[in-house]
């Protein structure tokens, strides 16, 4: 009547795939314990590691849980303990991990009445109160694992993409605050046709590279001419971090979600760790504190 789960951090956008591509990390995520209660409804019983609301209609984990609960109408209630390891506002899917974890766990406790697409749909309700819009590019990889592409949100259609062997992600989280709403507000409403052509060529190529284990093509496709030129200005030292990551062997690097975290992809764990060190060296020389993670993409 109780389940403990790990709800992973995720990287949305993956450079060229703004609002559609994402992948799942396995070394950083939140722990959550969800238990059945005789009292009906959804209750947040414990939050460790972050200052987040306990009110069921304000916490993303309970909002998504309520969406599932109201649909399933089970004969019991649930209480949720959240052990937050992903810092809110880090750009690696903190709110989406909370939103996904609760629905995933409750679905398990109910005997799995819902499929992954339905769980993503419920979790989007939680994500919406955190970010102001229902996008699923962090939720989908958290629930499906590996790489995902959100083909559409209405109706929700998620494509699971294959991951080449030995693909590793390095994440550095410089601890400055960037609100997703602000990082979205600075984006242009229209883009030049030439940039659109470059961007969809990169998205298509990246998907092809994942399907064919083509690291060279993957590397060539990790470019973002639409969003990164604007958002990178919000992240101190972004250009040098990216350049150094590539210099030590990363296939490419970009902004994780709406930032401030920066991700890089590498072909081996050794390279991913060298990339982490190169990224750390840059922020060590500043007064910005940071965390780094290296994670295999499965
Ligand atoms: N795709 C979203 C963005 C992810 O970049 O704004 C952040 O929640």
Separation between Cα atoms, residue 219 and residue 206, nearest integer Å: 8
pLDDT-derived band at 133 (thresholds 50, 70, 90) equals confident
- 77 CA → ligand 1 middle, Å: 32
Question: In this model, does residue 132 exceed pLDDT 80?
Answer: no
ipTM above 0.90, yes or no: yes
Q: Scanning the structure block, which residue is given the tokens 């590019």?
A: 137
- 114 CA → ligand 1 middle, Å: 26
- 7 CA → ligand 1 middle, Å: 18
Separation between Cα atoms, residue 60 and residue 237, nearest integer Å: 32
What number of other Cβ atoms are within 10 A of residue 280's Cβ? 16
- pLDDT tens-digit profile of 148-205? 999 999 999 999 999 999 999 999 999 998 988 899 999 999 999 999 999 999 999 9
Average confidence (pLDDT) over 112-131 = 94
Burial pattern 24-43, b for ≥16 Cβ within 10 A else e, equals: bbeebbbbbbbbbeeeeebe
pLDDT-derived band at 135 (thresholds 50, 70, 90) equals confident
- 183 CA → ligand 1 middle, Å: 8
137 lines ligand 1 (CB under 6 A): yes
Active site members: 127, 180
Ligand 1 pocket mutation pick from 124, 133, 183 by most atoms within 8 angstroms of CB: 183
Q: List, in sequence order, every residue forming a beta bridge with 257; answer none if it has no partner.
A: none
Are 140 and 158 in contact by the 8 Å Cβ rule? The answer is yes
19 lines ligand 1 (CB under 6 A): yes
180 lines ligand 1 (CB under 6 A): yes
Ligand 1 pocket mutation pick from 86, 95, 134, 138 by most atoms within 8 angstroms of CB: 138
* Nearest residue to 106 via CA among 79, 146, 143: 79
């Amino acid at each position: 009547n109780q389940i403990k789960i790990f709800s992973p951090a995720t990287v949305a956008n993956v450079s060229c795939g703004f609002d559609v591509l994402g992948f799942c990390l396995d070394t950083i995520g939140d722990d959550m314990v969800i238990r059945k209660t005789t009292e009906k409804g959804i209750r947040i019983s414990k939050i460790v590691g972050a200052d987040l609301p306990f009110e069921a209609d304000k916490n993303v984990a309970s909002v998504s849980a309520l969406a599932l609960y109201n649909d399933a109408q089970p004969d019991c209630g649930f209480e949720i303990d959240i052990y937050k390891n992903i810092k809110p506002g880090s750009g690696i899917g903190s709110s989406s991990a909370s939103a996904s974890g609760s629905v995933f766990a409750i679905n398990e406790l109910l005997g799995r009445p819902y499929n992954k697409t339905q769980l993503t749909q419920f979790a989007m309700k939680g994500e919406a109160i955190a970010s102001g819009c229902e996008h699923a590019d962090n939720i989908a990889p958290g629930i499906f694992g590996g790489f995902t592409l959100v083909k559409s949100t209405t109706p929700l259609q998620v494509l699971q993409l294959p991951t080449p062997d030995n693909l590793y992600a390095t994440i550095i989280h410089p601890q400055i605050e960037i609100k997703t709403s602000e990082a979205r507000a600075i984006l242009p409403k229209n883009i030049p046709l030439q940039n659109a052509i470059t961007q969809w060529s990169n998205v298509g190529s990246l998907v092809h590279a994942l399907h064919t284990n083509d690291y060279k093509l993957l590397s060539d496709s990790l470019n973002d001419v639409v969003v990164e030129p604007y958002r990178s200005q919000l992240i101190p030292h972004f250009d040098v971090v990216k350049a150094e990551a590539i210099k030590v062997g990363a296939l490419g690097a970009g902004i994780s979600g709406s930032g401030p975290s920066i991700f890089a992809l590498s072909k081996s764990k050794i390279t991913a760790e060298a990339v982490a060190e190169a990224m750390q060296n840059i922020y060590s020389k500043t007064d910005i504190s940071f965390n780094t993670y290296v994670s295999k993409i499965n």
